[in-house]
Amino acid sequence: MIMTEDRRPGVAFLGFALATGLLIVVVAALMRDFVAGWHGGEYASAYIGVTFGAMVAGSLCRLARPPWRSFGTGLILGGVLGFASFLAVAVALYLALSQMSS
């Protein structure tokens, strides 16, 4: 069996944990109103920034040497999970608001 890439699931999990940890910190900061003067829009921008930042950083890490490739994969997966959860919340909000006006 020929392996083209050294697979390191622990390093990939570390990348995933970093991305999801940052997303959880942003949501926790929103719940606790951690940053004075910030409203929902600033937290949403920070959440989207972390999501796309994780995907871009993960893509760049995929270009590096082998230990960083797995880390990049984890970052990309964490960013995609963050984006999917953002879309799910946006759709739920849209449906709730459209039902309220009817």
Contact call for residues 3 and 64 (beta carbons, < 8 A):
no
Look at residue 90 in the predicted model and tell me its pLDDT.
94
Query: What is the rounded average pLDDT of the residues 16-25?
Result: 97
Question: Mean pLDDT of all residues in the chain?
Answer: 91
DSSP 56-89: HHHHHHTTS-HHHHHHHHHHHHHHHHHHHHHHHH
Q: Which residue has the tokens 């999990």?
A: 13
Number of neighbouring beta carbons within 10 Å of residue 98? 9
Stated pTM of the model: 0.85
Note the pLDDT tens digit of each residue in 24-60. Answer: 999 999 999 999 899 989 999 999 999 999 999 999 9
